[in-house]
Amino acid sequence: MTMVFSERRGAIALLTLNNPETLNALSGTMLSDLTTAFDTVEADPEARVVVLTGAGKGFCSGAQLGTATFEAGAQVGDWMRASINPLIARVRASRLPVVTAVNGPAAGAGVGLALMGDIVVAARSARFVLSFAKVGAALDGGATAFVQRAIGAARARALALLGEPLSADAAAQWGLVWKTVDDHLLMAEALDLADRLAAGPPVALRLIKAQLEAAWPLDLAEALEGEATAQSAAFSTEDLREGAAAFMEKRKPKFTGR
């Protein structure tokens, strides 16, 4: 059984973590399957958006813990460098916008997996738990960057050190996610966002993603220079000319990705 179910809906690729019995715990197989599924979509020129969600009642319960995991010692870092770290970096650097639909609890590294999306929408039953300290572990899955940059140091430190759950509504109020919706509306909302992104200008969206990612560690002068470079690339596309024409003609643009 594949641990990640892949489905195409036109230009939208829907990837579903598929081990509901464990609340989609991150085994080596699941991470490998997710990487393969994402790489396949990334290589498809017809794909424009990815939606990532989980099967069953949970989004992702974090790493699949067991005796082997707890006895890994210092080798766990090598496993991370070979598995989850490249996946998160790959998704953040992707040309494709990624919508994460958090359908239930996200814990441990599952928090990072949820927050690696560009737009995160959560069901009201979702909660985010930095559970690492509960088992004596340090943070991973990108949590050190994603959480602190989204909600600030004071809140991030308390969540990480105490390991207390954060409700979906509080996550939206604090800026950790884009919005929350009632559970039965989650996928409709995620797919609506994906439709809007799929109708957008692919080159410009790729440039915007790259700009925002690169700007995190930059000072203002470096950010301004990066914006000038990216805008030059955007203004060299056919999509920009189509967008300008549509604006002047008061019609909806038809972007082609060129």
pLDDT tens-digit readout, 112-121: 999 999 999 9
Map tokens 């996550």 to a residue. Answer: 171
SS3 180: strand
**How does residue 74 score in pLDDT terms, banded at 50, 70 and 90?**
low
**Which of the following CATH numbers is that of domain 4-198: 3.40.50.720, 3.90.226.10, 3.40.710.10, 3.20.20.70?**
3.90.226.10
Q: Which tens digits make up the pLDDT trace of 162-217?
A: 999 999 999 999 999 999 999 999 999 999 999 999 999 999 999 999 999 988 87
Q: What average pLDDT does the structure give for the chain?
A: 90
Query: In this structure, which topology does domain 202-249 adopt according to CATH?
Result: Lyase 2-enoyl-coa Hydratase; Chain  A, domain 2 (1.10.12)
CB neighbours of residue 63 within 10 Å: 26
Q: Distance of CA 232 to CAs 16, 226, 238, 240, 257, Å?
A: 37, 10, 13, 11, 16
Domain ranges of the chain: 4-198, 202-249
Cα 115-117-119 angle, rounded to 5 deg: 100
Q: Where are the alpha helices (DSSP H) in 179-252?
A: 186-198, 202-215, 220-234, 238-249
Q: What is the mean pLDDT of residues 131-148?
A: 86
